[in-house]
């Protein structure tokens, strides 16, 4: 087996596969599978998610396939500088025999002679690598930005170590051309709704955490994603990528919608509030749940903990009064994706949680549990 591939092309592939391959694993999850025939294919998996990437630029000299440890070549490959203006390396030249593989390179320098390098690596039996089911017929098509942005806005709320299976996943609901993403760890929750135009009118899915993380990292921006779902598995094809992963089935996601009901509301400038919360992050106490006191009283907003306080007055009184403690780190993570001039804090006085909604965008909602007073 023998092929050549441009340095930048392979580095992009290796970078994406780094999101799925487990570097320290001794089994197939720590391997990279490379196949050259009609095209040049690179595969990685972690036991739950598989990613296949077909190279766009390459030259196949002799077809074949091989398996090697990802850690044995990854770091080395990523150190090279793609050729530009007479300096760098143009391509990686793979030569694979029966027992050993080699990567040959020629690096050019502007003021001296080239450097020739050869890396040898151990081979493993490609038959040990799990087969991947070919992509079937797409059930619906989405723009990758919808998936990536929706996942990004809610993923930080999910704890993959949570013992409750339903809370380990990312909820995706399609209902009459709206796609709702939601994630929670039982203390904070984010819901983000996006308008879509898909053939599937209704669907309820629970993406596994590792699948969600990989989709956010490896999908190209602004590209079509063809999606097929069969039982507990999801298949996604986009550009030169093919991704397979698992869904959580047999679990009902918490019915959180009723928690968005409220009796009172406080409206305040988003930028002012967010600036203060972000500024005090480094003086929060992790041993005290990163506690921050929020006090809305008449026309004054007081934000404080044992070390810092920020006071701001406004022209008019708030619609209601509120004095509560929350986790300041969690609050900061919820504030980053809001838009618009004003935020609305909605609450029921007897409940132990708050919801935040932008006055200009009601399709993004965050919920945060209140801390017990010391």
The DSSP element (H or E) to which 355 belongs, if any, is: strand 353-358
Cα–Cα distance list, 65 to 2, 104, 280 (Å): 10, 18, 54
* Token pair 């694979």 in the structure block, residue: 96
* Positive or negative torsion for Cα 310, 311, 314, 317: positive
Q: How far apart are CA 253 and CA 113, in angstroms?
A: 63
Torsions phi, psi for 173 (to 5 deg): -125, 130
For the sheet containing 31-36, what is the strand order? 64-69, 31-36, 40-45, 50-54, 241-246, 233-238, 224-230, 140-143
**Mean predicted lDDT score pLDDT of the chain:** 96
How do residues 297-345 score in pLDDT, each as one tens digit? 999 999 999 999 999 999 999 999 999 999 999 999 999 999 999 999 9
176 confidence band (pLDDT: 50, 70, 90): confident
Closest CA to 66 of 113, 127, 14, 9: 127
Locate 335 and state its tokens.
């504030």
- Arithmetic mean of pLDDT, 46-66: 97
Torsions phi, psi for 325 (to 5 deg): -115, 140
254 confidence band (pLDDT: 50, 70, 90): very high
pLDDT (0 to 100) of residue 182: 98
Locate 70 and state its tokens.
């990802």
SS3 272: helix
Write down the H helix ranges in 265-358: 270-279, 328-335
199 confidence band (pLDDT: 50, 70, 90): confident
User: How many CA atoms within 13 Å lie on the side-chain side of 163?
Assistant: 0
pLDDT (0 to 100) of residue 104: 98
Q: Which DSSP symbol is given to 240?
A: T
Cα–Cα distance list, 171 to 46, 88, 140, 180, 343 (Å): 22, 45, 17, 8, 25
pLDDT (0 to 100) of residue 129: 95
Are residues 126 and 31 in contact, defined by beta-carbon separation less than 8 angstroms? no
Q: How far apart are CA 200 and CA 362, in angstroms?
A: 24
Domains of the chain from N-terminus onward: 2-128 (3.10.150.10), 140-246 (3.10.150.10), 258-369 (3.10.150.10)
Are residues 291 and 305 in contact, defined by beta-carbon separation less than 8 angstroms? yes
pLDDT (0 to 100) of residue 136: 92
Q: How far apart are CA 82 and CA 361, in angstroms?
A: 44
By percentage, how much of the chain surpasses pLDDT 70?
A: 100
Strands (DSSP E) found in 10-168: 31-36, 40-45, 50-54, 59-62, 64-69, 88-89, 91-96, 100-108, 115-122, 140-143
Cβ-Cβ contacts under 8 Å for 350 (sequence gap 6 or more): none
- Cα 348 from chain centroid? 33
User: Apex CA 64: angle with CA 236 and CA 43, to 5°?
Assistant: 25
């Amino acid at each position: 087996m023998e092929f050549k591939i441009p340095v930048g092309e392979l580095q992009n592939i290796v970078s994406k596969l780094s999101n799925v391959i487990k570097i320290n694993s001794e089994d197939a999850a720590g391997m990279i599978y490379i196949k050259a025939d009609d095209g040049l294919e690179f595969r990685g998996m972690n036991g739950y998610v598989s990613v296949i990437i077909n190279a766009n630029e390459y030259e196949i000299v002799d077809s074949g396939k091989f398996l090697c440890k990802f850690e044995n070549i990854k770091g080395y490959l990523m150190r090279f500088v793609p050729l530009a203006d007479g300096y760098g390396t143009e391509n990686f030249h793979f030569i694979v025999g029966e027992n050993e593989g080699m990567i040959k390179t020629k690096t050019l320098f502007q003021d001296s002679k080239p450097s020739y390098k050869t890396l040898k690596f151990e081979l493993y039996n490609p038959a040990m690598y799990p087969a991947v089911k070919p992509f079937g017929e797409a059930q619906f098509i989405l723009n990758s930005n919808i998936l990536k942005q929706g996942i990004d806005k809610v993923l930080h709320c999910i704890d993959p170590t949570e013992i409750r299976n339903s809370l380990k996943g990312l909820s995706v609901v399609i209902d009459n051309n709206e796609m709702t993403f939601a994630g929670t760890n039982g203390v904070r929750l984010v819901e983000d709704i996006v308008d879509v135009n898909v053939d599937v009118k209704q669907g309820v899915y629970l993406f596994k955490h590792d699948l969600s993380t990989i989709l956010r990292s490896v999908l190209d921006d602004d590209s079509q994603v063809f999606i097929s779902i069969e039982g507990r598995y999801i298949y996604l094809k986009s550009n030169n990528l093919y991704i397979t992963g698992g869904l959580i089935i047999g679990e009902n996601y918490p019915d959180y919608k009723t928690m968005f009901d409220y009796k009172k509301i406080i409206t305040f400038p988003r930028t002012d509030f967010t600036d203060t919360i972000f500024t005090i992050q480094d003086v929060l106490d992790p041993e005290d749940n990163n506690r921050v006191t929020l006090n809305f009283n008449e026309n004054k907003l007081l934000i404080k903990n044992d070390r810092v306080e920020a006071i701001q007055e406004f022209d008019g009184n708030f619609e209601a009064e509120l004095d509560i403690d929350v986790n300041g780190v969690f609050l900061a993570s919820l504030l980053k994706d809001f838009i618009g001039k004003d935020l609305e804090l909605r609450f029921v006085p007897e409940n132990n949680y708050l919801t935040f909604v932008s006055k200009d965008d009601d399709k993004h909602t965050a919920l945060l549990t209140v801390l017990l007073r010391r």
